[in-house]
Chain A
Amino acid sequence: MQREKILEVKNLKTFFNTKDGVIKAVNGVNFDLEKGEILGIVGESGAGKSVTGFSLLRLIDPPGEILEGSIKFKGQDLMKINKRNMNKIRGKKISMIFQDPMASLNPVLTIGQQLIEVLQFHLNYSRKKARNRAVELLNMVGISSPEKRMKHYPNQLSGGMRQRVVVAIALASDPEVIIADEPTTALDVTIQAQIIGLMKNLIKDRQTSLIFITHDLALVSEIADRILVMYAGDIIEYGSKESIISNPAHPYTQGLINSIPVLDKDQKRLKQIKGLMPSPLDLPEGCKFRSRCSKKTDYCKNNDNKLKKINNNHYSTCSEAYQLQKELIAGVG
């Protein structure tokens, strides 16, 4: 069944012009997001996940710049609309949740003020109506005595509570897409599970699409429908969760999976991927992972980094995968 495409991202390039050189943080990525789906973006720190998320809302400040690409939201290219209309997309149609709930709420405004302003601005609610709705929202995200909490400042709430408030703000105007950038990384494990459960429930009811950004493949495999693996500004693998977890094509994804701790296996040691991601200032030609790759061949330095089809639900840039595919076809033929 083909579902409606909410977001279609084509050739998105976001670079930072620093005094040391150009950082190619997001280097021409393509993906789409379907209605009601949860898309996980994984990759190690510095892969360009957050920059991708911010680019979708055009929240890139100098020295950063979105150089090219189109971001189609329900057919409308967000790269082509003006500032005022962009503000009507942000927080209303597409909202965002950040990593650190301690830092994402303004310390000098109350929870209520920060929630009410969204309702007033995006939905034109009266003060009273916005207040009532804000209390409902706090209740919905599982905050006890919401009336009282409305008057509290962020520092009077625990980290988990604050992230619930942030979720309430993100959901306030019933958006179609939520981008959650490591929303639970700063929280401890039990709270993490609660917040994820909460988000999953809330978006399921509303058919909201979710882009879930994390460095944690285990976490994303619990929540996502499809997974997108990023490495040094590129999407290197992309497909359904099942296919990626059971059949990872890219050696990097394989490495990520091998480094997940498994409880019932007696692992002496986790297999971490050796080496470091290349400096974003000085990216090599061809496959960027090849210096760390145990399966590299001569082909790798000429890799065009385009996603190659493995099957209808699975794409990867790795030539290994490409070769495999060719052999399969040859075998069949």
Chain B
Amino acid sequence: MLIYTGKRIWQTLIVLFAVSIIVFIMININGDPVQTLLPPDAEPWAVEELRETLGLNKPLYVQYFNFIKNAIKGDMGISYYQQVPALRLVLERLPKTMELAVAAILISIIIAIPAGMYAAIKPESILSKLIMFSSLAGISLPTFLSGILLILIFAVNFSLLPSSGRGEIAQFLGIHSSLFTLDGLKHIIMPAATLGLYMVAMLIRLVRAGMQEVLKQDYILFTRAKGMPAKIVYIRHALKNTMIPVITVIGLQLGRLIAFSMITEKIFAWPGMGKLILDSINRLDRPVIMSYILIIAVLFAAINLVVDLLYYYFDPRIELG
């Protein structure tokens, strides 16, 4: 187990190295930050000077080498725009995006697992057909549309929920989050639902398909022949077998939700990483963009590791190696 984890961390480092090169190259193709930092009519010497302070006058490989050297020390450079360490800037926003993503996942799990199970167990019922139709709609609806629809319905028409910001924050177990206050919950529910909508829809389909497959297996029939009641058959025997693909998808989606929360954060003015990265891309604020991508890459790797370990919990047949 320890060896396995160590191996995975080593693999992760290789991936991060590859990511850093790709990102570095892409960013350099993508315009000159000096142009956006200085007024268009700046003197040539001012441009030169700024290039020198930012280290942009050196050859590319030297720039990359310096970047890596600093990155290992946890120094991703100073934000060109805000003049504070870029990594810190991103890390400050990370919990807010995480909180949104976690809320989105919780909502999707709570809705999708029972709904998917029901649709698998009673495929002919009207409710099942409704569930499957809604999930199809949920998959097809783009985020900006569902977000705006929610705002229209719950904020504008019924004035039930606030449409922007994070609301009141409380601390619990050392974590600051709006999940711990009523006002905070009211603020988070719409953005979380928007962010999680696709995932609810997809999970429903996944749980249903997985469950249908599992229900055909001999061991389910055998459990029924043992006289076990529905609760034991479906939850204890069937659900645990269905969870393996579901866990993978939840894991991968958590990464996606964090990485692609920009649109939702923009719509609901949620002060997370997504909003920061949108602004930074507009300003070509390279250290911030690099820090963001680094964090996302690390997160993806960490999530993958956790998913693999969870597999092992759910399926003892899997050998870690």
List residues of A whose CB falls within 8 A of some B CB. 57, 59, 62, 84, 86-92, 95-96, 98, 100, 103-109, 117-118, 121-122, 153, 155, 166, 169
Contacts and interface: CB of A to CB of B under 8 A. Distances in A.
Given A92-B227, A117-B228, A108 B314 contact: yes
Given A98-B218, A153-B317, A106 B223 contact: yes
B51 to A, nearest CB: 60
Contact of A95 (B226, B240, B317): B226
Nearest to B243: A108
Contacts of A155: 316-317
Interface of B: prevailing SS: helix
B222 A98 contact: yes
B119 to A, nearest CB: 16
B83 to A, nearest CB: 54
Given A104-B218, A108-B240, A109-B237, A57 B225 contact: yes
Given A109-B236, A109-B237, 4 more contacts: A104-B218, A107-B317, A108-B241, A108-B316
A118 B226 contact: yes
B229 interface: yes
Contact of B224 (A59, A105, A108): A59
A87 B225 CA distance: 8
B218 A100 contact: yes
B217 interface: yes
A153 B316 contact: yes
List the 10 closest pairs (A to B, CB-CB), nearest first: A91-B227, A90-B227, A91-B226, A103-B218, A96-B225, A104-B222, A106-B219, A87-B227, A153-B316, A104-B218
Nearest to A106: B219
A210 to B, nearest CB: 15
A16 to B, nearest CB: 15
Contacts of B223: 106
A90 B316 contact: no
Nearest to B313: A108
B103 to A, nearest CB: 29
A64 B222 CA distance: 18
B241 A90 contact: no
A146 B124 CA distance: 44
A121 B230 CA distance: 12
Contacts of A95: 225-226
Chain B CB within 10 Å — which of A96, A98, A108 has the most? Answer: A108
B226 A103 contact: no
B218 A122 contact: no
A2 to B, nearest CB: 30
Contacts of B221: 59, 98, 104
B232 interface: yes
A117 B317 contact: no
Nearest to A110: B316
A106 B228 CA distance: 13
Contact of A91 (B219, B228, B314): B228
Nearest to B229: A87
B315 interface: yes
Contact of A107 (B219, B224, B226): B219
6 contacts: A106-B223, A108-B315, A108-B316, A109-B237, A118-B226, A121-B228
B126 to A, nearest CB: 16
A18 to B, nearest CB: 16
Given A106-B241, A108-B314, A109-B240, A121 B225 contact: no
Contact of A117 (B225, B232, B240, B241): B232
Interface string B107-138: 00000000000000000100000000000000
Contacts of A90: 224-227
A122 B227 contact: yes
B109 to A, nearest CB: 19
Nearest to A99: B218
Contacts of A98: 218, 221-222, 225
A84 B314 CA distance: 30
Nearest to B244: A108
B319 to A, nearest CB: 10
